[in-house]
Chain A
Amino acid sequence: MPTLALSVLVIDENEMRASIIEDGLREAGYANVEIIRDIAGAAQHIENHAPDVIVIDIENPKRDMLEAFFALSRSVQRPIAMFVDQSDSFSIEAAVEAGVSAYVVDGLRKERVRPILEMAISRFRAFSRLQSDLQKAQSALEDRKLIDRAKSILMRSHGYGEREAYEMLRRTAMNKGVKLVDVAQSLLTAESLLTNKDPEESS
């Protein structure tokens, strides 16, 4: 059996991450990739298809169920071992760091499985980066909105232009040694106290 004919089962409740891994494996030439969202379905799938490699998110709370299923299953003849090789502590650590856990049919040579695990690890990492970039972008957007609202208060109350209002906030932040967004937040809070409005509603 050529390496690329190995069948891979990906169990992931996160659809986006699952498809990122699937794409990666397919691009690398693995045609035999299946995705399942729930462990309950996985048990049946493993019974029927006996995949060579199973990849699962390490945070999945049903991992204990999955492992017990391996131990109990009579139809999966070959015992399934954890990771590529029990002595391969480097790849175990890399996988745990990345949040991947993988199970491999015992007896498969490790050089055949290693590219699959490496692909899963790099895709998990890419997904975490994507998520943290997204979070950063979101919080930057939130900050921008707060600062815009603070500017408009200054423009209204002091008759400042937009540039002057921004300079005012920036200077205050520098003098106080705090972040611009924190000055904006303080101003919004103060304004809501003075006008008796919920700061979330003021604009």
Chain B
Amino acid sequence: MTVHTIRAGFMPLLDACILIVAHEKGFDADEGIRLQLHKETSWANIRDRISVGHFDAAHMLGPMPVAASAGVLPIPMDICVPFAMGLGGNAITVSREMAEALRQTGMCEAFDPARNGQALKLLIDQNTMPRRPVFAVVHPYSGHNYELRYWLAGCAMDPDRDVEIIVIPPVMMPDALRSGHIDGYCAGEPWNTVSVESGYGHILTVKSKIWRSSPEKVLGVRTQFNADHPEIVEALIRALYSAARWCDEAANSEEIDDILQRPAYLDVPAKTLLPVLRGDLADIFGVKHRLNGFFIPFDRAATFPWRSHALWIYSQMVRWGHAPFSQDLVKRVSATYRSDIYRNALKGMGADIPSASLKVEGALTAASAVGSTRSKLFLGPDGFFDGTVFDPDRIKDYVHSQSQNR
């Protein structure tokens, strides 16, 4: 049997762990494929290299394929998303000075997006800060940008007027915060903890508090590659599924840390990732908590490519003027997320797969059993911090109600 090599790009981030572990622990070989991993320096490179065919698949920000199907990327990228690379994993960190000012309002509470957001709103309204707060995100089309904006807007701030949002690569965020170039940022781990540990930053809130069980990175596959080699893409999905399950086991945290910290991957000091893998984060008062569901690699159908996730991202792109709205684009965005490929790939594995491809996001206040192939699948809670829900069938109303609030 010939072993087919799949060339896959990744950025050195925690949620690349599923791809990296699939290779390092031999889940790829188990499926008769070989993952050839390429570390990249920017999302622009991932986009360019997959567009010209240097990569067959890549670790991607969820909004990248959505932006591609909405036709707003600077070069066309014909890709599909047959697999999601976990839920959550980001946090919003602010500078020491801003944290001090926020605490002095007396309104802050550990990781609470609503209370801490009100505190920030108060500071902005008082107009006592030396400048309009500058927040950095990792990319314009990123979950980071959209969750930061969602949080600010949900706390009655205007992300385009009350603050300035700029782009900085995650690795450079701690230095930018320390030098005073920015006042805060939204990034994946370990880049928040790095600032906390150095004493120059405090975590204000986390993605899993803004929107529980929310989507983050995905696996983008070249549509042409999938058309030419459907059986290889399915083998890849099975390998990644097994790797994600392995990553979700608490007993494997030390080994994950040991693999990811190597120079070929994240290139960080050993043990840097251990607290994050366990969900141990310090709040704005410096008190450590264990946050359940901070980053979920596998549980709660974390690898299922929900079409409602793609549509929520699209709704936010429309909301902030990053993409036009049309029913045609709704169809195209929705069709980019390929739950059909996911189901086909995993049907023989005894995997518990959701029966639906869309769900009303934010409707589950507690973990709930849902219709699935083995009837043992629990999803959620998946609430948004402001209590609203997103019904993917009513996307236009959703965007409309959000612009009313502005």
User: Which residue of A64, A71, A83 contacts B75 across the interface (Cβ within 8 Å)?
Assistant: A83
Q: A61-B41, A64-B44, A67-B44 are in contact. Are A92 and B169 (CB under 8 A)?
A: no
Q: Which of A33-70 contact B (CB under 8 A)?
A: 58-65, 67-69
User: Which A residues touch B140, using CB under 8 A?
Assistant: 67-68, 71-72
Contact of B42 among A64, A69, A103 (CB under 8 A): A64
Q: Does B139 sit within 8 A of A, measured CB to CB?
A: yes
Which B133-147 residues have C-beta < 8 A from chain A?
A: 138-140
Bound together, the chains give a CA A59 to CA B46 distance in angstroms of 11
Contact between A65 and B169, CB atoms less than 8 A apart: yes
- Is A64's CB under 8 angstroms from B52's CB? no
Cβ contacts under 8 Å, A83 to chain B: 75
Q: Is the CB of A96 within 8 A of B52?
A: yes
Q: Are B52 and A93 in contact (CB under 8 A)?
A: yes
Inter-subunit contact A61/B42 (CB<8 Å): yes
Q: Does B171 contact A (CB under 8 A)?
A: yes
8 Å CB interface, A59-96 against B: 59-65, 67-69, 71-72, 80-83, 86, 89, 92-93, 96
Contact residues, A86-121 vs B (CB, 8 A):
86, 89, 92-93, 96, 101, 103
Bound together, the chains give a CA A96 to CA B55 distance in angstroms of: 12
The smallest C-beta distance from A72 to any residue of chain B, in angstroms, reads 8
Interface size on B, residues (CB 8 A): 23
**Which listed residue (A65, A80, A81, A96) contacts B48, Cβ 8 A?**
A96
Query: For residue B166, which residues in chain A have a CB less than 8 angstroms away from its CB?
Result: 65, 68, 72
CB <8 Å contact, B75 and A82? yes
Residue of A nearest to B73 (CB): A82
At the interface, yes or no: B149 with Cβ under 8 Å from chain A?
Answer: no
A64 touches B139 (CB 8 A): yes
CB distance from A89 to the nearest CB of B (A): 7
CA of A64 to CA of B53, assembled, Å: 20
Q: Which residue of A lies closest to B160 (CB)?
A: A72
Query: Which chain A positions have C-beta within 8 A of B139?
Result: 64, 68
- Bound-state CA distance A145–B48 (Å) is 43
CB of A92 within 8 A of CB of B52, answer yes
Q: Assess whether B264 is interfacial by the CB under 8 Å rule.
A: no
Q: Which parts of B16-66 form the interface with A (CB within 8 Å)?
A: 41-45, 48-49, 51-54
Which residues of chain A in 142-162 are interfacial with respect to chain B, using CB atoms and an 8 Å cutoff? Answer: none
Q: Is B124 an interface residue (CB 8 A)?
A: no
Please determine whether A61 and B168 come into contact, CB atoms closer than 8 angstroms. no
Task: Give the Cβ gap from B178 to chain A, nearest Cβ, in Å.
Answer: 16
Contact A63 B44 (CB under 8 A): yes
* Residues on A with beta carbons closer than 8 Å to the beta carbon of B369: none
Distance in Å from the Cβ of B163 to the closest Cβ of chain A?
13
Q: B51–A58 contact, CB under 8 A?
A: no
Q: With both chains docked as a complex, state the minimum distance between the C-beta of B160 and any C-beta of chain A, in angstroms.
A: 10
Q: What A residues does B41 contact at CB under 8 A?
A: 59-61, 63
**Could you tell me if B45 and A65 are in contact, using CB atoms closer than 8 angstroms?**
no
Does B171 contact A58, Cβ atoms closer than 8 Å?
no
A62 to B170, CA, bound (A): 10
C-alpha spacing A83/B75, complex, angstroms: 8
Nearest chain-A residue to B165 (Cβ)?
A72
- Smallest CB separation, A120 vs chain B (Å): 15
A82-B75, A86-B75 known; A64 and B48 CB under 8 Å?
A: no
Given contacts A59-B41, A82-B75, A92-B75, contact A64 B49 (CB under 8 A): no
Residues of B bordering A, CB below 8 Å: 41-45, 48-49, 51-54, 74-76, 138-140, 166-169, 171-172
Enumerate 12 A-B pairs (CB-CB under 8 Å) in ascending A order.
A63-B42, A67-B44, A67-B74, A80-B74, A81-B74, A82-B74, A86-B76, A92-B51, A92-B75, A96-B49, A96-B52, A96-B54
